[in-house]
Structure 1
Amino acid sequence: MPPTRWAVLGPGAISGDFAVGLRASQHGVLHAVGSSSAERAAAFAHAHGADAAGTYDEILARDDVDAVYVGTVHTTHADLAIRALEAGKAVLCEKPASPTIADVERMLEAAARMRRPFLEAFKTRFGPFAQTLRDLAARGELGALARFEGARGSAATTRTGRLFDPELAGGAILDIGCYPLALAIDLAAAAGEPIDAPEYRRFEAEPVGGVDGTASAELAFGRVTAMIATSVVQDLPRVVTVRFAEAEVVLPNAWGNRTESASRLIVRRDGRERVIEVPTVQPMAAEADAVSLALAEGRLEVPQMPWSHTRAAARVLTDWRAAALAR
């Protein structure tokens, strides 16, 4: 298959990580960079070896771009992704796809209408670690999946910028609370539980400057209870516990990082402990390659993060954040 020619939209920090990760890709190359500032785009292109740079409109008008990575702030995702899809490009959109379920539905409608792949960039969905967890939930060898307990939180060094700007949909829920939520959805779906109509049991939040600084949620996907916490003002334990009827699986670090996926699972059963070590992947390269394969095979969705999971996450994030901001 010919290499996928990627354009980055939004030359920020996470886009830089994507450009570096793309070097490990099997099927893609960085070809172009778009920005609201042509000068910033040119500087990013020079730093990462892209052949072309320009404004968003200039890059989306090019016929030598196959796919785009949207790495801008949350509130601009929907507009850029829809413009890219309508320009005939596949889209890898940084998580969360958008702050509201309504905008996510618009994005998916555009992808379906234009027959172009769309993937929400949850890098934690890719590689042997994620697949091992799905297999444990699906096979039932540990009994029925019963409970998920996970958190992701870190104290920001300053309380300024995007994370603390209400106009840019700042706050913990959208920025990092989406990670444990997406993992709970993945495991519940693998276990055969419904994910499209969760039962909301509790939403809590502590606002900081108009955004959710710390938040927690208890909800249920069918028979699976999910306990989730997140924060941008305090560090939270990275350990995730997945409880089954006959055992529990402890993930010392479920999230990995932007260069390497997680690799270690601990299964505790009948007073014994079994450690599972799996190979890692470059997660940003893996998600890019998943889009390339979808393009080559004529698919609109990627199995590791199907649209039903994007919808499910967007629905909970929308409602959780509305409850948090109503306080």
Structure 2
Amino acid sequence: MSTQIKWGIIGLGKIAQKFAINLLLLDTAELEAVASRDLAKSEAFAKIYDAKKFYGSYEALLQDKFIDIVYIATPHNSHAQITMLALEHKKAVLCEKPFAINKQQVFKMIEASKKHNMFLMEALWTRFLPAIKKIKSIVENGEIGEIKYLNADFSFKANPSIQRIYDKELGGGSILDIGIYPIFLAYLILGMPNKIIAKAHFFESGADSQVSIIFDYKNAQAVLFSSFNSNSKREAKISGTLGEIVIDSPWNEASSFAVVKGKDEEKFLLPIMGTGFVHQIIECNKSLKKNLTESPLWSHQNSLELITLLDAVRKEICLVYAEDL
């Protein structure tokens, strides 16, 4: 492997554009090729983001022997299939969140990673932000005492013309698209809950438009919310017996937070690189250099447990996708 990690991008929507912008900020990474089923779109993307090559099929990109790792940014319902295909072609994979539609698919993806001895990671970029890493350290060190309460939301008024948001066949709905963020934070700080309570509203398609969730733990609770129906402040709070952490909005892009103990408040400013995706790219590059098959910061087990929580919330609100049948 050369000093520069050579990336390929599959699926060239807005999230891929954001990823490419961040990739270009790193000297240790290079955009080798991009792929879309629309060749003209692929060519245009390659010109804008300085990719060496462009392809009109995903399979063609995966056959490119120069690519070390692929970033998969296609609709949710295709994540598992394309990831498996990439691993079979001996490509490392960074796959957008949610990793897949359900736990069964994620398990198969991880088994394929082990079988082919290839790196695989879910693109939960928030996990790698300096502020989130610092917050987890503060909690683990007991600086705000025993955690008793966590609150996080992610909500915005969605454009109804964006098909992936409401199309159930594409794995649409707020839980998998944005609800995964507050669920992730509760899991990162408190782990797996003993009980889950959830209530939802739905689009005509059957996908969820908004969901309110309570994670109940032995000594704590997390109150979580996601919605495509209205805007929210996107703030998060972690409360312990000795103090609390208030993460500034938007918390999932955290660059600042405060630790509050009574009347005392300590502010932390930990700027993000680019728009935040840089940090997960660095993690992938480091892992490949070490010949790892998973990240120690966001492991295969972490992804399995997160999808288990997503499945459990869906079960609570009776949301079933075709992939579940």
Shorter-chain TM-score above 0.5: yes
> 1:211 touches 1:325 (CA, 8 Å); kept in 2?
no
Report the AA paired with residue 213 of structure 1.
Answer: S
- Once the 2 structures are TM-superposed, how far is the Cα of residue 59 of structure 1 from its aligned partner? 0.7
> 1:264 touches 1:276 (CA, 8 Å); kept in 2?
yes
Residues 61, 223 of structure 1: CA spacing in aligned structure 2 closer, same or farther, 3 A cutoff? farther
Residues 160, 124 of structure 1: CA spacing in aligned structure 2 closer, same or farther, 3 A cutoff? closer
1:23 alignment partner in structure 2: 24
> 1:207 touches 1:324 (CA, 8 Å); kept in 2?
no
Q: Gaps (5+ residues) in structure 2? A: 321-325
Q: Distance in 2 between matches of 1:77 and 1:161?
A: 17
Q: Gaps (5+ residues) in structure 1? A: 189-193
- Once the 2 structures are TM-superposed, how far is the Cα of residue 262 of structure 1 from its aligned partner? 2.0
Q: Distance in 1 between matches of 2:271 and 2:136?
A: 16
> 1:133 touches 1:187 (CA, 8 Å); kept in 2?
no
2:210 alignment partner in structure 1: 214
- Once the 2 structures are TM-superposed, how far is the Cα of residue 200 of structure 1 from its aligned partner? 2.3
1:272 alignment partner in structure 2: 264
Q: TM-score, normalised by structure 1?
A: 0.92
Q: Distance in 2 between matches of 1:10 and 1:201?
A: 34
Q: TM-score, normalised by structure 2?
A: 0.92
CA deviations over 1:81-111 (Å, ceiling 9, x no partner): 1111111111111111011111111111111
- Across the aligned residues of Structure 1 and Structure 2, the Cα RMSD in angstroms comes to 1.7
> 2:246 touches 2:258 (CA, 8 Å); kept in 1?
yes
- SS at structure 1 position matched to 2:42: helix
CA deviations over 1:114-149 (Å, ceiling 9, x no partner): 111111111111132011111111101221122211
User: Which of the numbers 312, 317, 325 marks the counterpart of 2:305?
Assistant: 312
Q: What are the residue-to-residue correspondences of 1:23-62 with 2, within 5 Å?
A: 23-54=24-55, 55-62=57-64
| % identical equivalent positions | 27
User: Which of the numbers 89, 99, 110 marks the counterpart of 2:101?
Assistant: 99
Aligned pair count?
316
2:249 alignment partner in structure 1: 253
Q: Distance in 2 between matches of 1:223 and 1:70?
A: 38
2:323 alignment partner in structure 1: none
Of 98-107 and 302-311, more deviation after overlay is shown by 302-311
2:221 alignment partner in structure 1: 225
Q: Distance in 2 between matches of 1:255 and 1:63?
A: 39
1:109 alignment partner in structure 2: 111
- Once the 2 structures are TM-superposed, how far is the Cα of residue 222 of structure 1 from its aligned partner? 5.4
CA deviations over 1:283-313 (Å, ceiling 9, x no partner): 2122112111111101111122122221111
2:91 alignment partner in structure 1: 89
> 2:235 touches 2:251 (CA, 8 Å); kept in 1?
no
The answer to whether structure 1 residue 286 and structure 2 residue 279 are counterparts is: yes
Of 7-16 and 23-32, more deviation after overlay is shown by 23-32
